[in-house]
Amino acid sequence: MIQPNNNYSTLKISVITVSYNCGSTIAKTMQSVLSQTHTNFEYIIIDGCSTDKTHETIHGIIDTRIRLVIEEDDGIYDAMNKGFGLATGDIIYFLNCGDYLANERILEDVCSCFLANPDVDIIYGDVIRYGDQKEEYLNMKRKTPLHLMTRCICHQGIFAKRTAFHNVRPFQTEYPIYADFEWILSEISLHKIKLKYLNQVVAYYLSGGLSDQDRAKNYIERLRCTRKYFGHAMKRSYVIQYPFECILFLVKYCGMLVLYRWYQFITKMRLRH
């Protein structure tokens, strides 16, 4: 557990939740945020014109730090971009409906870690995926930037300074499933942001979302993101600093390409029949 820094309250966190027809799950998400010991935060909820009891649930929880925006959007990442555009915090954090912070000290621990490591742009921790009466612990530790090219970090585990966002709309909506993956790859590849792993569970996230559906199609999008930044992964400095990791990355990448070609072949065969 990170020891609290006496000045942790000086950092403001913007917590952003996007919602659509989440009346049965959003209360748990909201309570996990509003119960935090670190109180210097704003809570932005971007709702895509829900038609269930989502609005009623939100309005039933009174807190001056909540800002609710109700308007149509073009998907999750468009809504996340809107939330980012409204954020005024030093640190940005996205928490989906149904997801919740692991305990009431998470924001305090994160702020303390940032203050102890002022050169770090992103602090990330582990998450637990839950649903269907089971839980799965997901270790998010990535030893080198190359690990990120083939292994994503769940955005529920990522707390990012504003310096980790170099675009006013950081999430490219052409990637409807992995825009968060594309964002972090672009920041590491093009802007050399620095990450630090926080060795603790920071959040629980509810399974059954977009990334858990149609895995074959999602896999193709993930490969597109990896191919986009392939040249940066194999740059000379990485080859010198991480020779073994570069070889391992190439093996994984070739394996991804083989699986992709096989998927294309199977799809064509099915269409013919």
Q: What is the pLDDT of residue 211?
A: 56
Residue 135's DSSP bridge partners are: 130
Condensed to tens digits (0 to 9), the pLDDT of residues 60-94 reads 998 999 999 999 999 999 999 999 999 999 999 99
User: CA 25, CA 54: separation in Å to the nearest integer?
Assistant: 9
| Tokens matching residue 82 | 């809107």
The CB density around residue 22, as the number of other CB atoms within 10 Å, is 25
pLDDT digits (tens, 9 = 90+) for 123-145: 999 999 999 888 999 999 998 87
What pLDDT was estimated at residue 16?
98
Q: What is the pLDDT of residue 240?
A: 84
User: HEC states along 76-143?
Assistant: HHHHHHHHHHHCCCCEEEECCCCCEECCCCHHHHHHHHHHHCCCCCEEEEEEEEEECCEEEEECCCCC
Angle, to 10 degrees, between the axis of helix 243-272 and the axis of helix 215-228?
A: 140
Cβ-contact 140, 153 below 8 angstroms? yes
pLDDT at 226: 84
Helices then strands, each counted (H, E), the chain: 10, 9
Rounded to the nearest 10°, the torsion over CA 93, 31, 56, 59 is -80
Over the range 145-159, which residues count as b (16 or more CB within 10 Å of their CB) and which as e? bbbbbbebbbbbbbb
**Predicted pLDDT of residue 4:** 41
Angle at which helix 76-86 crosses helix 179-191, to 10 degrees, equals 50
Q: What stretches in the chain show pLDDT beneath 50?
A: 1-6
Task: Please count the residues of the chain.
Answer: 273
Q: Which domains does the chain have, with CATH numbers?
A: 8-213 (3.90.550.10)
